[in-house]
């Protein structure tokens, strides 16, 4: 699926070692004074790596006078309207099971899923992505929506998957759960097992594993915004934007 698997694996392993050296003090570090300005600006107009605030998202630029930022729900919210399933919020532990329960209760007729999420729990993102793939749903990031951190793994579950012009997709280092004080070798081993599960998932969903180094090089309090060319080249999207 990618031209040089040895280079990808080498980059992933190097990133894991660097993560292991700092893992005890990382526990989802955040910069509370930063509001992620310019998140929706085209990457050619600014750096691709920008501040990350999972609890906030930019307001709709089509609504003049609205506050610059608005809250992002602290767990996923699932709704269906106008033949569209919408998933909004941070991905909290247990959201994978909550999504399955919502599907069983609501029995939605729509087959397209629109995402607007700042990410969160990786394991729950993988579970939701697998549910989406098993049901044959497509995924989309609409104009003005974000799909950050673990959210791209939910996006990857769609077939097809698209990002509309004005939608933002970004990745960074993974966060797999609450930080515990562990010997370094145990912490690194846990991270490696978790990274392997993510790589296996991406391969199954048809996403180029060269996405991984882009994520692992970016600290958890920043986000690496993917360009339209990267989204296409890495097969994060399978349908052209604006479609």
Q: Is the peptide bond before 160 cis (omega within 30 degrees of 0)?
A: yes
CA atoms in the 13 A half-sphere facing the CB of 130: 16
C-beta separation of 71 from 89 below 8 A: no
**Owner of token pair 């959210």:** 151
Q: Which CATH class is domain 5-26+72-233?
A: alpha beta
∠ Cα 187 74 113 (to 5°): 95
Confidence at residue 56, expressed as pLDDT on a 0 to 100 scale: 85
Per-residue pLDDT tens over the stretch 217-242: 999 899 999 999 999 999 999 987 64
Per-residue pLDDT tens over the stretch 43-67: 444 568 888 889 987 766 566 666 6
C-beta separation of 128 from 102 below 8 A: no
Residue 92 has pLDDT above 60, yes or no: yes
Query: Which of 43-47, 107-111, 114-118 has the weakest average pLDDT?
Result: 43-47
Per-residue pLDDT tens over the stretch 131-146: 999 999 999 999 989 9
Query: Token pair of 220, please?
Result: 């958890």
Confidence at residue 58, expressed as pLDDT on a 0 to 100 scale: 73
**Sequence spans of domains, the chain:** 5-26+72-233
Q: Is the peptide bond before 193 cis (omega within 30 degrees of 0)?
A: no
Confidence at residue 33, expressed as pLDDT on a 0 to 100 scale: 34
Distances in Å between the alpha carbon of 6 and those of 2, 12, 169, 184, 210?
Answer: 10, 10, 26, 25, 11
> What CA–CA distance (Å, rounded) separates 174 from 122?
7
Tell me the three state secondary structure of residue 229: helix
DSSP calls for 162-214: EE-TT-EEEE-----S------HHHHHHHHHHHHHHHHHHHHHHT--TTHHHH
- Maximum distance among all alpha carbons in the chain? 52
> What CA–CA distance (Å, rounded) separates 212 from 144?
25
**Owner of token pair 């950050």:** 148
Q: Based on DSSP, count helices (H) and strands (E) in the chain, helices before strands.
A: 7, 11
Query: Which of 75-89, 94-108, 171-185, 228-242 has the weakest average pLDDT?
Result: 171-185
Per-residue pLDDT tens over the stretch 166-207: 999 999 997 655 444 445 545 567 777 888 999 999 999 999
Distances in Å between the alpha carbon of 104 and those of 17, 76, 127, 132?
Answer: 41, 16, 15, 13
Query: Token pair of 214, please?
Result: 């882009």
Confidence at residue 130, expressed as pLDDT on a 0 to 100 scale: 98
Confidence at residue 186, expressed as pLDDT on a 0 to 100 scale: 52
Q: Give the model's confidence band at 87: pLDDT under 50 very low, under 70 low, under 90 confident, else very high.
A: very high
Dihedral of CA atoms 154, 159, 165, 168 in degrees, nearest 10, equals 10
């Amino acid at each position: 699926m990618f031209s040089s698997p040895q280079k990808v694996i080498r980059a992933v392993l190097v990133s894991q070692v660097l993560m292991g050296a700092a893992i005890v003090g990382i526990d989802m570090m955040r910069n509370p004074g930063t509001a992620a300005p310019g998140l929706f600006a085209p990457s050619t107009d600014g750096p691709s790596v920008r501040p990350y605030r999972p609890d906030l998202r930019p307001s709709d630029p089509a609504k003049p006078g609205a506050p610059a930022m608005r809250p992002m729900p602290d767990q996923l919210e699932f709704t269906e309207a106008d033949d569209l399933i919408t998933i909004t919020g941070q991905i909290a532990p247990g959201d994978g099971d909550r999504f399955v329960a919502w599907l069983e209760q609501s029995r939605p007729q729509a087959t397209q899923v629109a995402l607007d999420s700042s990410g969160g729990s990786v394991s729950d993102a993988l579970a939701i992505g697998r549910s989406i793939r098993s049901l044959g749903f497509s995924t989309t990031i609409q104009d003005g929506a974000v799909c950050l951190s673990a959210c791209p793994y939910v996006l990857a579950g769609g077939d097809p998957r698209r990002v509309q012009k004005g939608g933002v997709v970004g990745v960074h280092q993974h966060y797999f759960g609450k930080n515990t004080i562990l010997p370094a070798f145990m912490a690194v081993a846990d991270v490696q097992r978790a990274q392997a599960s993510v790589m296996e998932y991406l391969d199954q969903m048809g996403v180029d594993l060269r996405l991984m180094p882009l994520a692992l090089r970016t600290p958890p309090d920043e986000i690496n915004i993917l360009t339209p060319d990267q989204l296409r080249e890495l097969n994060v999207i399978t349908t052209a934007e604006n479609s």
